[in-house]
Structure 1
Amino acid sequence: MSNVCASTPPGGATHATPATVTDRPDGGHPPLRFAVFGAGAVGTYYGALLARAGFTVTLIGRPDHVAAIQAHGVQLLTAEGSMHIAVAARTEAAAVADADVVLVCVKSGDTEAAARAIAAHLTPQAVVLSLQNGVDNAALLSRILGRPAVPVAVYVAVGLEGPGVVRHHGRGDLVLAPFPQAPQVLAALAAAGIPAAVSDAVPQALWTKLVINCAYNALSAITARPYGWLWAQDGVPALLQQVVRECVAVAAAEGIVLDAAALDTQVQHIAHSMATQRSSTAHDLLRGRRTEIDHLNGAVVARARAHGLSAPANQTLHTLVRLLEHGRGA
């Protein structure tokens, strides 16, 4: 992420000037208005960057998170420092009503409910982007909304450290599937300092991300440890390699060709580049919330069965996380 501001006084918020012609590639569109439905760590991070650049943004999230943002703005913590960013925040789905672009950032298990909640409030021209884990969420949104939802592969390591407080650990780039309004949306993202590109290979990108999540999310949750620590333990690299191989076989059965060796390299790289990061599944378990494990390792297991394959490493990780969920009342 670029252009990180110096720390501002606690409770203060930076107010950017309105977005300029940089988000109007054809010179005729007014600045885009954004809404983020399901503003957790990921949604709040991107919404805050867009608001900092001067775009109209409304974050829609949990009451405690929204209350903190309404009072103090979003506190964004990065390696370079801390800042507070003023941004509108609401709790009701109707807050998407004026948005030109809606970022859906809910957990996979909440996708159907999210679609039904926002359907009646979207403008006819609104673009819906799915910034979610898993490989089926955009298709589910599209079916329920009756309009195309754009799948987006998200590459960012962020976490909530409290209501209204987001810590950025690394990266922040997006890869979007093609859609008619892509040039205007890409220009807006660029104006906000968000690296983004359009690609026909988003299905492969989403599967690749699914494989990485299957490798680390469950194991980080089970041990409550970060990626760097996990990689350093005896037997873990071999286990992660087995998880990757199972995922690659299932993807191939689904018509998605993945490079197993390249994925092994990515898994190892993440252990070093995101050494201090714990998975979102780990954070969910610590907070007593339901995880996305059914849509990660669980999805691989279900698809493996459908194709007459087995995925024992993924099945074991899925089962262990589900047991922890039940034990903690999630």
Structure 2
Amino acid sequence: MKVTVMGAGAVGCYYGGLLARAGHAVTLIGRQPHVDAVRKRGLLLEIGASCEAVPVTATTNSNGVADAELVLVCVKSGDTETVGRDLVAHLSPGTTVLSLQNGIDNAERLQAVIERHVVPVAVYVATEMAGPGHVRHHGRGDLIMGECPTSGIIAAVFEAAGIPTTISARAIDALWGKLILNCAYNALSAMTQLPYGRLIGIPGIDVVMTDVVEECMAVAAASGVVIPPDCLTGILALADTMPDQFSSTAQDLARGRPSEIDHLNGTIVRRGQALNVPTPVNRVLYTLIKALDSKQQAA
């Protein structure tokens, strides 16, 4: 299968690397330093004690999606519309587009720009970019994918490449669950610059996370979304399975890049406001990350 990854960061490189290792023709579209490194010695895919150079094509140009059978959109939520406008001129009629992004509305927003169905995918993986062209895996890697005419074929391709994939007619519920998890961890990991394992060990952090999750679940319920009642237990246990993982927001702030907080805790705050559901703890976390964003952009 010919696959293009739009947004070759940690998530895109991990899944693109697995698909390339399984024999698929993968093109990564990303920033110039990353592209240069991949062109020089392949994509370094580090999983556990193994680190191998996987041959892939890399480019900075959105025309890299031309003739692709499958496009994985892995850009930050704030770039969704911009990327959609870049992609629309190069997509083939039969291309399937998947949104592997944080937040709950990226597939819908992207679909409005490219005027074709976009499949929402909830991503559960801990990864980081260890350097240009070098992705490091810390845990998990499973996907919950929405339905489309080619979902069975794509899921089979993913499974064969070592990517556990579940097809669900209610992918939006999974995206909400992932949003709530991100709201619990991302801002706190970013403000402390601590990985999940050390973060959860700080006295009182679990109480703050509980408050965050309860607010999120109230907003979800008011939105008609079904969240499992044991959601909090699973979220607090995540630190045990990904102890060394820094949140994507922590990684963004450490690199001086804008965060996705508007599409994480910010989403809960805005929806809570519209539905008359109080979200004071999410509002505090959202505001503090926005302040840190503003400080970095002004520096």
Could you say which TM-score interval applies, normalised by the shorter chain? over 0.9
Matched, 1:108 2:87: no
Paired residue for 2:50?
Answer: 81
Tell me how far 1:253 sits from its aligned partner.
1.2
Paired residue for 1:194?
Answer: 163
Amino acid at match of 1:289: R
In 1, Cα distance between equivalents of 2:67 and 2:161 = 20
Query: Percent of pairs identical after alignment?
Result: 51
Amino acid at match of 2:65: V
Matched, 1:161 2:130: yes
In 2, Cα distance between equivalents of 1:297 and 1:256 = 17
Please give the per-residue CA displacement for 1:141-168, whole angstroms capped at 9, x wherever unaligned: 1111111100001111000011001110
Paired residue for 2:279?
Answer: 311
In 2, Cα distance between equivalents of 1:270 and 1:246 = 19
- 3-state SS of paired residue (1:291): coil
Tell me how far 1:33 sits from its aligned partner.
0.8
Amino acid at match of 1:321: I
Paired residue for 2:13?
Answer: 44
Amino acid at match of 2:253: L
Tell me how far 1:259 sits from its aligned partner.
2.8
1:143-162 mapped onto 2 (5 Å cutoff): 143-162=112-131
Tell me how far 1:80 sits from its aligned partner.
3.2
- 3-state SS of paired residue (2:224): coil
| 1:172 aligns with one of 141, 163, 166 | 141
In 2, Cα distance between equivalents of 1:80 and 1:264 = 32
Paired residue for 1:239?
Answer: 208
| 1:259 aligns with one of 217, 228, 253 | 228
Paired residue for 1:54?
Answer: 23
In 2, Cα distance between equivalents of 1:81 and 1:127 = 31
In 2, Cα distance between equivalents of 1:259 and 1:146 = 33
Q: TM-score scaled to structure 1, two decimals? A: 0.89
Tell me how far 1:69 sits from its aligned partner.
0.4
- 3-state SS of paired residue (2:297): coil
In 2, Cα distance between equivalents of 1:276 and 1:188 = 29
Paired residue for 1:292?
Answer: 260
Unaligned runs of 5+ in 1: 1-31
Tell me how far 1:267 sits from its aligned partner.
1.7
Amino acid at match of 1:329: Q
In 2, Cα distance between equivalents of 1:238 and 1:299 = 21
Amino acid at match of 1:325: D
In 2, Cα distance between equivalents of 1:304 and 1:279 = 23
Tell me how far 1:57 sits from its aligned partner.
0.7
In 1, Cα distance between equivalents of 2:115 and 2:26 = 24
Amino acid at match of 1:189: F
Tell me how far 1:201 sits from its aligned partner.
2.1
Paired residue for 1:273?
Answer: 241
Please give the per-residue CA displacement for 1:88-112, whole angstroms capped at 9, x wherever unaligned: 0010011101100000000000000
Paired residue for 2:297?
Answer: 329
Matched, 1:67 2:40: no
What value does the CA root-mean-square deviation take over the aligned residues?
A: 0.9
Please give the per-residue CA displacement for 1:54-76, whole angstroms capped at 9, x wherever unaligned: 11110000110111001011111
In 2, Cα distance between equivalents of 1:327 and 1:140 = 29
Unaligned runs of 5+ in 2: none
Paired residue for 1:3?
Answer: none
In 1, Cα distance between equivalents of 2:19 and 2:73 = 15
Amino acid at match of 1:285: L
Amino acid at match of 2:175: L
Q: What is the number of residues matched between the two proteins? A: 298
Paired residue for 1:28?
Answer: none
Amino acid at match of 1:286: A
| 1:207 aligns with one of 158, 166, 176 | 176
- 3-state SS of paired residue (2:139): strand
1:89-108 mapped onto 2 (5 Å cutoff): 89-108=58-77
Tell me how far 1:182 sits from its aligned partner.
1.3
Amino acid at match of 1:179: C
| 1:230 aligns with one of 190, 199, 215 | 199
